[in-house]
Amino acid sequence: MLDIPAVAEELGARFAARGHRLYLVGGSVRDALLRGSGAADRPWSDLDFTTDARPEAILGIVRGWADAVWDTGIAFGTVGLRRGDATLEVTTFRADTYDGASRNPEVRFGDDITGDLVRRDFTVNAMAVELTGERRTFVDPHGGLAALAQGVLDTPDAPERSFADDPLRMLRAARFVSQLGFTPAERVTAAMTAMAGELARITAERVQAEFSKLILGAHPRRGLELLCDTGLAQYVVPEVPAMQLETDEHMQHKDVYTHSLVVLEQAIDRETDGPDLTLRLAALLHDIGKPATRRKEPDGRVSFHHHEVVGAKMTRKRLRALKYPKALIDDVSQLVYLHLRFHGYGKGEWTDSAVRRYVTDAGPLLDRLHALVRSDCTTRNRRRAAALQRNYDGLEQRITDLREQEELDAIRPDLDGNQIMELLGIPAGPMVGRAYKHLLALRMEHGPLGAERAGAELRAWAAEHLS
């Protein structure tokens, strides 16, 4: 018994009046069955349908009823529309064939629901509810309901054929493992492993979209492990499986890869406003510079000096390749670059100047940096872990104290550009910028100077640099 939304019932009645059949289908049915379990959060306002009506007929049926209609997908048989707060997509039965070289299908319309469902990606998405008969009819020719109950991810058709048609489905499998906690069937995992290279046919933008959904899922570690185990990660984030070759310097994890997955899980536990893509990516990638910086020291220990610098560059390169927005790339790379700095804090030996620089370099990322650094503590030595957390507590308290004293989040020199030009009698130009940087460095080192002392320091600097 599914609680079908009223907007779907209304649409079904319109199709029935025109002699057509309409089915609620795919993820909409899956999520309806999962609703209340906490496993799916897809809103009722996002609904998918399939029908025997051709696109032109669909347009005629929804015209005058829909508040808005768009036909950008009409070449693929899809009409999009909005009714109130609901967004709906209605697609003609499909029986596509693929060229085997891209994701682009040769669109062929089908004649029945069974043929349409077999071409869908997974059995849990190959269920439908007819809305146009005398009563609702649940259609499940591939055992999707049983798979849903068992938490198994399988394909309606042979997985090799399904993934050959659309290699992105392999990445979607890992995404569903992350989002819904499913376990892929053995034949699905085997096909993903054998066909991982086919993912190279997919554009970076589409790969990025699926990867982001995976990272933001409820179980991203499980999805990432599936990517790495099947070899798909080599075509998405090859730096992550590369960490399996390294042992971290604490000898507490079998490799840096496992450590990074634990850090990701611990970072998720520290999220306060829902899934945070920036924090999660930084947690996953914070140690990717270790393989390139691995050195064996004379005492037999393994070191990874400056791995945060190398890792930040690698992070920037990978996220660019995946076509992420520049702002996100900058933020994730900066977090990777800064994640190790706290370890120079010791037991509180930093000067106030060092604390100011830590805050200034983090900028608006400071809260995320706090979460990342605390999550990076994965030692099994409880005493050491407690000491690290206490030390970071101390750093946060010092930041709080300096904030109260100095407006720490907006550190600026005591004199602005106009005051510098007036005091030195110079026009706008590079020299003003150099003077400004000098005063900023003094501000960082000594805290607020006041206008009188700042002016004296500026004159002394100018006597040396403007003469």
> Measuring CA to CA, which residue among 132, 170, 177 is closest to residue 153?
177
Whether residue 146 sits in one domain with residue 21: yes
Taking CA 464 as the corner, what is the angle to CA 462 and CA 467, rounded to the nearest 5 degrees? 80
Give yes or no: residues 224 and 342 share one domain: no
Note down the domain range covering 202: 151-236
**Same structural domain for residues 26 and 126?**
yes
Instruction: Judge residue 259's burial from the number of C-beta atoms within 10 Å of its C-beta, 0-12 exposed, 13-18 middle, 19 or more buried.
Output: buried
Domain count, the chain: 4
Question: For residues 303 and 248, what is the distance between their CA atoms, to the nearest angstrom?
Answer: 8
Taking the C-alpha atoms of residue 27 and residue 30, their distance in angstroms, rounded to an integer, is 5
Domain match, 129 and 189 both:
no
3-class SS of residue 34:
helix
Polymer length in residues for the chain: 467
The torsion angle over the Cα atoms of residues 322, 325, 331 and 334, rounded to 10 degrees, is 50
Produce one character per residue of 284-298: b if its CB has 16 or more CB atoms within 10 Å, e if not: bbbbbbbbbbbeeee
Specify whether 347 is located in the same domain as 392: yes
Q: Are residues 25 and 103 in the same domain?
A: yes
Report CA 275 to chain centroid distance, whole Å: 8
Q: How confident is the model over 193-212, as a mean pLDDT?
A: 97
Q: Give Cα separations from 467 to 273, 414, 428, 461 (angstroms).
A: 55, 23, 18, 10
Query: Is position 258 within any domain?
Result: no
Confidence at residue 381, expressed as pLDDT on a 0 to 100 scale: 85
Looking at 393, 411, 429, which one is the last position of a domain? 411
Report pLDDT for 317: 98
Could you tell me the CATH number of the domain that includes residue 191? 1.10.110.30
Q: Could you tell me the pLDDT band of residue 108, with boundaries at 50, 70 and 90?
A: confident
In this structure, the answer to whether residues 424 and 401 fall within a common structural domain is no
pTM of the predicted structure, to 2 decimals: 0.82
Across 32-46, 59-73, 280-294, least confident range: 32-46
User: pLDDT per residue over 227-236, tens digit each?
Assistant: 999 999 999 9
Q: Give which of 250, 268, 257, 284 is closest to 380, Cα–Cα.
A: 250
Q: Which residues contact 315 (CB under 8 A, 6 or more apart)?
A: 281, 282, 285, 288, 329, 332, 333, 336
> How confident is the model over 147-187, as pLDDT tens digits?
999 999 999 999 999 999 999 999 999 999 999 999 999 99
Residues 367-409: pLDDT tens digits? Answer: 999 999 999 988 888 888 898 899 999 999 998 888 777 555 5
Residue 450's pLDDT band, with cuts at 50, 70 and 90, is confident
| pLDDT band, very low/low/confident/very high, at 39 (cuts 50, 70, 90) | very low
Q: Are residues 369 and 273 in the same domain?
A: yes
Instruction: Indicate whether 143 and 37 sit together in one domain.
Output: yes
Q: Are residues 173 and 139 in the same domain?
A: no
Same domain, 22 and 139: yes
Which CATH number characterizes residue 118's domain? 3.30.460.10
